[in-house]
Structure 1
Amino acid sequence: MATARTENVGPMVMGLNKQNGQLRGQNKPPAVQPAPPGQGKGFGAHQKAGGPPQDGGGIKFGDDWKRSLLLPPKDNRVKTSDVTATKGNEFEDYCLKRELLMGIFEMGWEKPSPIQEESIPIALSGRDILARAKNGTGKSGAYLIPLLERIDLKKDHIQAIVMVPTRELALQVSQISIQISKHMGGVKVMATTGGTNLRDDIMRLDEIVHVVIATPGRILDLIKKGVAKVDRVQMIVMDEADKLLSQDFVVLIEDIISFLAKNRQILLYSATFPMSVQKFMAKHLQKPYEINLMEELTLKGITQFYAYVTERQKVHCLNTLFSRLQINQSIIFCNSTQRVELLAKKITQLGYSCFYIHAKMMQEYRNRVFHDFRNGLCRNLVCTDLFTRGIDIQAVNVVINFDFPKNAETYLHRIGRSGRFGHLGLAINLITSEDRFNLKAIEEQLVTDIKPIPSSIDKSLYVAEYHSSGADGDGEDKPERQQDST
Structure 2
Amino acid sequence: MATARTENPATMVMGLNKQNGQMRGQSKAATVPSATLSVGAQSGKIPSGSQKGMSAPQISSGIRFGDDWKKCLQLPPKDMRVKTSDVTATKGNEFEDYCLKRELLMGIFEMGWEKPSPIQEESIPIALSGRDILARAKNGTGKSGAYLIPLLERIDLKKDHIQAMVLVPTRELALQVSQISIQLSKHLGGVKIMATTGGTNLRDDIMRLDETVHVVIATPGRILDLIKKGVAKVDRVQMMVMDEADKLLSQDFVVLIEEIIGFLAKNRQILLYSATFPISVQKFMSKHLQKPYEINLMDELTLKGITQYYAYVTEKQKVHCLNTLFSRLQINQSIIFCNSTQRVELLAKKITQLGYSCFYIHAKMMQEYRNRVFHDFRNGLCRNLVCTDLFTRGIDIQAVNVVINFDFPKNAETYLHRIGRSGRFGHLGLAINLITSEDRFNLKAIEDQLVTDIKPIPGTIDKSLYVAEFHSTNPDGEGEEGDGEPGRRERHGP
Q: Are the counterparts in 2 of residues 167 and 215 from structure 1 also a CA contact under 8 Å?
A: yes
Confirm or deny that 1:81 pairs with 2:85: yes
Do the aligned partners of residues 46 and 239 (structure 1) sit closer, same or farther apart at CA in structure 2, a change above 3 Å counting?
Answer: farther
2:23 maps to what in 1? Answer: 23
Residue 171 of structure 1 and its aligned partner are, at CA, apart by 0.1
Residue 29 of structure 1 and its aligned partner are, at CA, apart by 2.5
5 Å-filtered alignment, 1:357-372, equals 357-372=361-376
Q: Quick one: distance in 2 between partners of 1:141 and 1:59?
A: 25
Q: Are the counterparts in 2 of residues 36 and 73 from structure 1 also a CA contact under 8 Å?
A: no
Residue 35 of structure 1 and its aligned partner are, at CA, apart by 5.0
5 Å-filtered alignment, 1:61-460, equals 61-460=65-464
Q: Quick one: distance in 1 between partners of 2:174 and 2:478?
A: 34
Q: Are the counterparts in 2 of residues 405 and 411 from structure 1 also a CA contact under 8 Å?
A: yes
Aligned residue type for 2:234:
V
Do the aligned partners of residues 20 and 45 (structure 1) sit closer, same or farther apart at CA in structure 2, a change above 3 Å counting?
Answer: closer
Deviation string for 1:22-68 (max 9, x for gaps)? 000x213343221548xxx9558899xxxx98447x11121100001
TM-score where L is the length of structure 1: 0.91
Aligned residue type for 2:27:
K
Aligned residue type for 1:294:
M
Runs (4 or more) in structure 1 with deviation over 6 Å come to: 44-47
Q: Quick one: distance in 2 between partners of 1:46 and 1:421?
A: 24
Aligned residue type for 1:32:
T
Deviation string for 1:106-127 (max 9, x for gaps)? 0000000000000000000000
Aligned residue type for 2:365:
M
Q: Quick one: distance in 2 between partners of 1:43 and 1:435?
A: 40
Structure 2, gaps ≥5 residues long? 1-12, 44-56, 486-494
Q: Are the counterparts in 1 of residues 467 and 484 from structure 2 also a CA contact under 8 Å?
A: no
Q: Are the counterparts in 2 of residues 35 and 395 from structure 1 also a CA contact under 8 Å?
A: no
Deviation string for 1:63-110 (max 9, x for gaps)? 100001110111000000000000000000000000000000000000
RMSD value over aligned CA atoms?
2.0
Residue 322 of structure 1 and its aligned partner are, at CA, apart by 0.2
Equivalent of 1:462 in 460, 466, 473: 466
1:33 maps to what in 2? Answer: 32
Q: SS where residue 236 of structure 1 aligns? A: strand
Residue 16 of structure 1 and its aligned partner are, at CA, apart by 1.9
Aligned residue type for 2:457:
I
Q: Quick one: distance in 1 between partners of 2:29 and 2:316?
A: 28
Aligned residue type for 1:318:
L
Q: Are the counterparts in 1 of residues 16 and 349 from structure 2 also a CA contact under 8 Å?
A: no
Q: SS where residue 434 of structure 1 aligns? A: helix
TM-score where L is the length of structure 2: 0.90
Q: Are the counterparts in 2 of residues 44 and 371 from structure 1 also a CA contact under 8 Å?
A: no
2:5 maps to what in 1? Answer: none
Aligned residue type for 2:399:
A
Identical aligned residues as a percent: 88
Deviation string for 1:376-415 (max 9, x for gaps)? 0000000000000000000000000000000000000000
Aligned residue type for 1:233:
V
Q: Quick one: distance in 1 between partners of 2:203 and 2:339?
A: 34
2:51 maps to what in 1? Answer: none
